[in-house]
Amino acid sequence: MSRPRLSPGNIPAGVAPIGYVRDRTTSGIVHLGIGAFHRAHQAVYTDDALAAGDTGWGITAVSLRSPSTRDALAPQDCVYMVEERSGAGPARRLIGAINTVLVAPESPERVIAALADPAVHIVTLTVTEKGYYRDPAGDGLLFDDPAIAHDLSGAAPRTIFGYLAAALDRRQAAGSGPLTLLSCDNLSGNGDLLDRLLGAFLARRGRPLERRWTCPNTMVDRIVPRTTAADMDGAPVDDRGLVVTEPFRQWVIEDRFAGPRPRWEVGGAQIVADVHPFELAKLRLLNGSHSTLAYVGLLLGHTYVHQAVADPALAALLRRQIDGEAIPTLAPAAGLDYPAYADALLRRFDNPALPHRLDQIAIDGSQKIPQRWLAAMVERDARGLASPAYLLSLSAWIVHVGGTTGRPVDDPLADRLAALWQGAAGDAHAAAAAMVDQSGVFPAAFRDSAALPSALAAMLARLVAGDPRALIAAITA
Ligand code: CS2
């Protein structure tokens, strides 16, 4: 039997309602990349600001690829539930911050017009690591990528760079106010990176612009697994926009706005002078651990994060990587207690009420591991320190992308990585060397290190030759 559809007029009992009159809000933010993470993170902080009276900060959200989110949200007037899961049971809340969803490939012009609207002061982005078209090893813009080449030709945009450039052109021509471009993706120095890549795009395009934008760095954190059919079936109403998440959320934003902003701090956002230490801790401790759990956990036969962290061998490996290898790369910073942070995040991972699939985290590893593992490894190497736990994580990634586990590999470099593995014809040393030198994932400091490539080859050889559990035991002994 079909259940009633969620809408502003049909809110089930027990769901916290919207705390403001939606009809009185207007859009001051355009968000690029409306996935579950945005709906469970920035949209929630924005909802809190709207409820506090900042009514000019509704969100016009943009799907850069598929119409599915728009098709899910539009029939329910763009409201949806955020369901927080913990041992205490679910807590549900209605979010009304999103006013409309545009599907970029259907109407590029509407997206550019929204970005150019003088009432819009902020563009937030969650386009995932690969949405930045950066060379993972070197951080430059991938000019050879067909999508970037297409956008440089001046045709209707496909990438964030084409859209932002078109909007900045129009804003300059109309004398509209400056824009804050807020990257909310898990990249090191995400704002600086966006600024650099956008600058490279504009320079190559050859039509200079007066610089009327800023790109503050941000650290975003909330675990948001992909919503499943079972999640939707368990909800008290038919909500096609449902997102499930943990109670925890954190947003640290560099105080470098180009113009006005909503009071996101009423929802708990931290507006600070320097985001870097927060960002590094989050990438290396949380995301770095996630990727280890994903690749090693899948190898050991696990499906979910909460199962993987409950495996004593994997927990020991993670502790070794966190305490023995990652934390020593983090400089002391005011307000950051790394051991306490690590303990708290291991408790967050251990949340059976929020099944988080390891294969979801394993997606796009080529775009993730440079900032999650490799940067710490090369820093350690420069100090003469070995990183056996990282080397094992990396070996598990190579085995995964080699395609030998029978699992599909979802990664923009999947074909290249599989070919490198196959070219090595079962020789682990050759496979490691090919990955390091030819994948385009490893930074020069790794490739040129006297120790790292051979140490990786030796670890990969041990992993493919024997029992992974015995290898973990040897490393963590
Ligand atoms: C995860 C992140 O999928 C992944 O790669 O590591 O999405 C992680 O859940 C979030 O960054 C948590 O804030």
Provide CB contacts within 8 A for 333, sequence distance 6+. 277, 278, 281
For the segment 411-436, what is each residue's pLDDT rounded down to a tens digit?
999 999 999 999 999 999 999 999 99
The fraction of the chain above a pLDDT of 70, given in percent, is: 100
Residue 228, pLDDT above cutoff 90: yes
For residue 282 and ligand 1, the question of a CB distance below 6 A is answered with no
For the segment 345-357, what is each residue's pLDDT rounded down to a tens digit?
999 999 999 999 9
Distance in Å from the first CA to the final CA of the chain: 56
pLDDT, position 138? 83
Instruction: For residue 95, give Cα distances in angstroms to 51, 98, 227, 374, 455.
Output: 11, 8, 16, 38, 49
For residue 221 and ligand 1, the question of a CB distance below 6 A is answered with yes
Residue 455, pLDDT above cutoff 90: yes
Main-chain phi, psi angles of 118, to 5 degrees:
-60, -20
pLDDT, position 1? 54
Q: Which residue, judged by its Cα, is nearest atom 4 of ligand 1?
A: 361
Q: Which residue, judged by its Cα, is nearest atom 6 of ligand 1?
A: 287
For the segment 126-161, what is each residue's pLDDT rounded down to a tens digit?
999 999 999 988 889 999 999 999 999 999 999 999
Task: Categorize the per-residue pLDDT at 20 as very low, low, confident or very high, splitting at 50, 70 and 90.
Answer: very high
| Identity of the amino acid at 296 | V
Which one, of 36, 33, 22, lies nearest residue 243 by Cα? 36
For the segment 174-214, what is each residue's pLDDT rounded down to a tens digit?
999 999 999 999 999 999 999 999 999 999 999 889 999 99
**Contact, 59 vs 43, CB < 8 A?**
yes
For residue 130 and ligand 1, the question of a CB distance below 6 A is answered with no
Q: From CA 279, how far away is CA 276, in angstroms rounded?
A: 5
Q: From CA 238, how far away is CA 233, in angstroms rounded?
A: 8
pLDDT, position 139? 82
For residue 361 and ligand 1, the question of a CB distance below 6 A is answered with yes
Question: If you measure from the C-alpha of residue 304 to the centroid of ligand 1, how many angstroms do you get, rounded to a whole number?
Answer: 13
For residue 222 and ligand 1, the question of a CB distance below 6 A is answered with yes
pLDDT, position 406? 87
Beta partners for residue 250, in sequence order: 221
Q: Which residue, judged by its Cα, is nearest atom 9 of ligand 1?
A: 223
- Is the pTM higher than 0.90? The answer reads yes
Length of the chain as a residue count: 477
Q: From CA 141, how far away is CA 147, in angstroms rounded?
A: 12
Number of CB atoms found within 10 A of residue 117's CB = 19
Residue from 45, 130, 183, 186 whose mutation best tests the ligand 1 pocket (most atoms within 8 A of CB): 186
For residue 223 and ligand 1, the question of a CB distance below 6 A is answered with yes
- ipTM exceeds 0.90, yes or no: yes
The dihedral built from the CA positions of residue 282, 284, 285 and 287, taken in this order, carries a sign that is: positive
For the segment 362-394, what is each residue's pLDDT rounded down to a tens digit?
999 999 999 999 999 999 999 999 999 999 999
Average pLDDT over every residue of 431-455: 98
